[in-house]
Amino acid sequence: MAYSERPAINVTPRLWIAVGIAAVSVFVLALRLWHLQIIRGNFFRDRSENNRLRMVYVPPPRGLIVDRNGEVLVRNRPSFNIDFVSEDSPNPEETVRTLAAITGSPPEELLEKLARPGKRRMYEPKLLLRDVSRDMVARVTAQRYRLPGVVISVVPARDYIHGDLAAHAIGYIREISAEQLKNPLYAGYRMGDVIGQYGVESRYERYLQGERGSQAVIVNAAGNKIGEAYSHLALPGSDVMLTIDRRLQEIADRALNGKKGAVVAMNPNNGDILAMASAPRFAPAVFTTEVSKETWADITDPRGNKLTNRVSQGVYPPGSVFKIFVALAALAEGVVTPQERFFCPGYLTFGKRKFRCHKHSGHGSVDLFDAMVQSCDVYFYTVGQRLGVDRIYQYAHDLYEFGEQTGLGIGDESSGLIPSTAWKAKYFRNPEDKKWYPGETLPVSIGQGAITTTPLQIVRGLSAVINGGAIVKPRLVRKVVASDGRVLEEVPPGPEVLRTLDIAPDIVERVKKSMVGVVLDKRGTGRKAALPEASGIVVGGKTGTAQVASKESGIKDEDHAWFAGYAPADNPQIVVAAIIENGGHGGAEAAPVVREVLMAYFGISDPPPEEKKPLKKIARRPRSE
């Protein structure tokens, strides 16, 4: 058949169909590419970068805490944390359970941390275990193939060199809570950061914390680090220098071993806290790792109240230590003269009740000096009657600032209570209870009844008696120094005087002389606070024995033992107050504690046993003068 005779084929419809299909395909492809590159380009660009680059935050080393002589009390040490990047794990829950089995941790706790809300970007690690042991790091490293997304990081951790030394003053650090993250004071902090939660660690958090750094690390498909792109160094926190003397603090802490109570030593001339001991204590280091339920139960057990700083938060009836201030008020108001004598048969009858003296056989005829030296209750019952509760309040509260916080500034501080007629009328509901009865003044005049104080208030008040009448603000920090050496904060060398009292010097000297008699006189209740005669240093002070009743039963417990003293008597450099809860008599239990602190402060050691007898004979001579 000739070519020209072949039938013609019409291909135009098929061609147009093919062209249409191709055109639609190209359009769809172009639309998809436009969507991926233009609409979602940033998303995939970020995801690509996150698959390759990870931003890791580097915790800064916290500043050091040092004593007044520059000796380091708290520093940093390297520690290991176990973090988890959930995006790197195909099954995060399964991975976390595997990690729990390897480390021996409760899986519920790790899963709870994984689910805990907080500010977190994609591919940002979440802390699961803090400050783990090297053995645990080795176990986790050996099982890395089973733990996609698990990361081990090296971070600085707090190292409390001297264990529980000055625990209540220094405080502790712990992970920031969700509630704290909402507080504007913690702007810039992130979940997983550790912050000061107590004491100086908390009060000076902004100085100690430093500034976090960052690293852009290169990772492979499994999320493992294979390199580093760039980094910004973390800036160390500033160092805080305390007023505490480490050597003196150790003595104060040791003196309270096995006891409940507090010891505080202060420079009466400028308010520097030289030692602040509270017992029982806690170990700040336990908060740097996961705190077990057993440990937390022990720390918070109300029978021990280990987190209570008894120096500034413990409130106690001051007992006979308060007689110092009642004596000053009585002499200043002229209700008694130093030579006036009262007879103590061992009790004072007031109305139908007998108010007992601590010496049931009585002290006989006593004047102010005798009453202070022997701590005669009957004498001060009589003086208290003459003063009245409102004048006692005027001197104790308005002048010496008992019943007010001292402003130490390292946590919640107790105010204590000085009663008055106005106080009772305000706080009691029953009309019969609102009236102040004269018989209620008698126990107040010997530091009992409704009156309560803190050891820190006692030290501040006694300082004002012996330093010329200045109410000085106690201080615990001398200065803050940045990592580059700049001084960011520094207290002036002189005291911060809140008020200067106008009490006649001869009155003050009378009371001071009687406090020296408490320690040196052969009848004195505080003889166990005396330093060796060979030292030439004379101690003044006052004992106190405060009656207490059990909160549970109301039955009288063993008395609290007090002693507040100072030295040298003619030029005081240090004031020390000690309270031993349920310790018994102040002269027997608290006075020796104060003596230990004074001995350490002045660098005195007891003479050998064979030399003690001659020293006792020499010591009697000035007492008889």
Residues annotated as catalytic are: 320
Which residues sit opposite 156 in a β-bridge? Answer: 78
State which H helix or E strand residue 28 sits in. helix 12-34
The DSSP annotation for 204-231 comes to THHHHH-B-EEEEEEE-TTS-EEEEEEE
CA 205 to chain centroid, in Å, comes to 13
Q: Are 356 and 377 in contact (CB under 8 A)?
A: yes
The DSSP annotation for 480-549 comes to EE-TTS-EEEE--SS--EEEE----HHHHHHHHHHHHHHHHSTT-TTGGGPPPGGG----EEEEEEE--B
Instruction: State the DSSP code for 121.
Output: -
Residues 6+ apart with CB under 8 A from 46: none
Rounded Cα distance, 309 and 559, in Å: 20
Rounded Cα distance, 111 and 96, in Å: 7
Tokens 């902004």 — which residue? Answer: 206
Rounded Cα distance, 104 and 306, in Å: 29
Residues 6+ apart with CB under 8 A from 32: none
Rounded Cα distance, 243 and 274, in Å: 6
